Amino acid sequence: MPKDKFDEYVENLQEIILEEEIKEYNERIVKLYHDPKNWGKPSEDEINISKTYEGPCGDTMSFFLKINNNVIEKANFLTDGCGASVAAGCQTTLLIENKSLEDAEKLKPEDIDAALDGLPKDHKHCAELAIRTLKRAIDDYKILVSLK
């Protein structure tokens, strides 16, 4: 197969895959898991607290937070989960950056779900995983600060 035909084939295949993903999830979720903002572990000097949590589904999520004066200045995440887990982790970081710890603690899985324009029923637990991990990170941070 000539190179230009192969490239055309690959492009068409990618479009088909993208269309199927959007049918299964939605455009917002697909956009975030194909290009997740705040993905990755920052250097240790950019983190005040990190927390990893394994949810009942077996997916693991980690949050890395930079907190100053009880404001989350920067939030990063990693997950070994599916696209919905990536989108939920990403959306959570977008919602908590430059917010107070108090505001971040008020977040609920339903808030993540709504910001993602609705997770499929069989992926609602991904928002729960993100919130549980976030709240455990904040709890650990508060314990750390109280010990100083």
User: What's the domain count of the chain?
Assistant: 1
In the chain, what percentage of residues exceed pLDDT 90? 83
CATH number of domain containing 36 = 3.90.1010.10
Domain that holds residue 79: 3-147
pLDDT digits (tens, 9 = 90+) for 102-127: 999 999 999 999 999 999 999 999 99
pLDDT in tens, 36-93: 999 999 998 888 999 999 998 899 999 999 999 999 999 999 999 999 999 999 999 9
What are 49's strand-pairing partners? 65
> Which tokens sit at 58?
């077996």
